[in-house]
Amino acid sequence: MNYASKNVDIAVLGAGPGGLGAALAAARNGAKVLLIDKNGYLGGNMTIGLPLLAFLDKDGRQVIGGIADEFMRDMRAYKTPYGVAASQHRYCPMHNSVTLYDHEIFKFVALHKVLDAGIEVLLHTEIESVNVDNRVLRSIRLRGKGYEITVTAKIFIDATGDGDMAYLAGASYEKGQKDTGVIQPPTLMFTVAGVNIDETIDYLAANPDQMDRSATIDCASGYDAEYFRKDPTFVMVAMRKLFRELRDKGEMPVDRENIIVINSLLPGEVHLNCTRHLGVDGSDVFSLTHAEIEGYLQIEKFTQTLQKHIPGFENCYITNIYPSMGIRESRRFSGIRTLTEDDVVNGIIPEDTIGLGGYSVDIHMGNGESTIFRKTPPYGLPYGITVSNEIEGLMFAGRCASMDAVAMSSARVMPICMAMGEGAGTGAALAIRYGISPKDVDVNEIRAILKDNGVILA
């Protein structure tokens, strides 16, 4: 075993959207930052084929700015043979807005930003244990490639999604929906090429009943074949009737009611958000292993179903199965504030808001095939949801922050997680600057910095 140590102001565990936002904001505000990730690249779920949803609210007003929007501006400046590496934020009657981007080029852009900010990066590394002394998080121990690495910091930001660091530190948490404890099922994303998406749209135009939705789905008017035809920046949720017929015949290998097709910037390619793994807990390694195996088996059979039954997919073939499962829900930790269902559905924007969310309540049912999808007004992300109320020096960024299950179902999407991270990282840097606890930072100073950096706060 080899041994090493690091001593920094702020250690950020997890380099997905929340971790990137936190690390960049902290470093740009003067902190010495170490960004740690289990993968060999930066980006986390921003690299697994997903679109970016809800930069705009349900009325088409932009509600996410700051670092998240900066990423997309830089992506649009990145020239490729097919054009630019990110679309504009385009209004969507269902998802409020959709932004498509090149997931591989995102890795380059993220790396350049992190290095330009002077952030130290440590990849291929996972957390093993923590040192909590008198309810203060003093250090963490990492392991990777035969190394045991001790990281000492004044503040630790957990951006792992599952809250792995907070869990090891003994922080209290909740999982699953209220009353039932049922967890939203994860998905293993994959990409296929050889698709004639115009034929798929023609099929929907000729069979408009394939756009019928369950009563639990809230969608504005105009989400139809004509919308897909006019704007290639789309996420297509459709074919509920066909899926039901195939299920009745025993020919539907996934436990869901419809197909989710995410169009790609590359011609003939689409990303598919379609596998479904009921009863899986992404924070349990045995459960997660089961889901990964099941995901590959579902993808193999589902691709055959696409080729046989979905117009435009007759000649499709798999080009990418992404290296990590997309987890919608696991642990949520206790902060000095909690974002609640009432806050989200009533559009509450409190005085300590560090960013806005404008996405719908989006709960994939963990005990069935359907989804609850309910539009909301823009709501505020309170700074306190990023600060542990139990362990000094521990903060959160992303879906493991202090939220109830319904609020998390909206705030879990990537632009909102990055906005949350930017607010947390700014607060952490100010705590370092003044030698105080993150919970004692003047939120008005955080907000002033965020506003200057283009964050939308109201």
The pLDDT, as a whole number, for residue 368 is 80
Backbone φ/ψ region at 265: left (φ over 0), alpha (ψ -120 to 50), beta: alpha
The pLDDT, as a whole number, for residue 309 is 97
Given a contact cutoff of 8 angstroms between Cβ atoms, the answer to whether 109 and 71 are in contact is yes
Given a contact cutoff of 8 angstroms between Cβ atoms, the answer to whether 358 and 96 are in contact is yes
Could you say which of 303, 321, 339 is where a domain stops? 321
Q: How confident is the model at residue 285 (pLDDT cuts 50, 70, 90)?
A: very high
Instruction: Tell me, yes or no, whether 311 and 401 share the same domain.
Output: no
The pLDDT, as a whole number, for residue 104 is 96
Instruction: Tell me, yes or no, whether 162 and 76 share the same domain.
Output: yes
Burial of 377 from C-beta contacts in 10 A (0-12 / 13-18 / 19+): middle
Instruction: Tell me, yes or no, whether 131 and 254 share the same domain.
Output: no
CATH number for the domain harbouring residue 109: 3.50.50.60
The residue-averaged pLDDT of 145-151 equals 97
CA dist 426 and 423 (Å) reads 5
- What is the C-alpha R_g of the chain? 21
The pLDDT, as a whole number, for residue 369 is 78
Least confident of 353-357, 365-369, 421-425: 365-369
CA dist 410 and 401 (Å) reads 13
Instruction: Tell me, yes or no, whether 394 and 439 share the same domain.
Output: yes
CA dist 390 and 396 (Å) reads 12
Range of the domain at 308: 190-321
Instruction: Tell me, yes or no, whether 303 and 379 share the same domain.
Output: no
Domain count, the chain: 2
Given a contact cutoff of 8 angstroms between Cβ atoms, the answer to whether 270 and 192 are in contact is yes
Instruction: Tell me, yes or no, whether 410 and 373 share the same domain.
Output: yes
The residue-averaged pLDDT of 284-311 equals 98
Neighbours of 133 (CB within 10 A): 9
Asked whether residue 240 is domain-assigned, the answer is yes
Could you say which of 321, 352, 379 is where a domain stops? 321
Percentage, residues of the chain above pLDDT 90: 97
The pLDDT, as a whole number, for residue 79 is 87
Task: Report helix, strand or coil for 107.
Answer: helix
Q: How confident is the model at residue 43 (pLDDT cuts 50, 70, 90)?
A: very high
Q: Secondary structure of the chain: what % helix, strand, coil (to 5)? A: 35, 25, 40
Alpha helices in 117-239 (DSSP H): 164-168, 197-206, 225-230
Is pLDDT of 401 > 90?
Answer: yes
CA dist 318 and 331 (Å) reads 32
The pLDDT, as a whole number, for residue 370 is 87
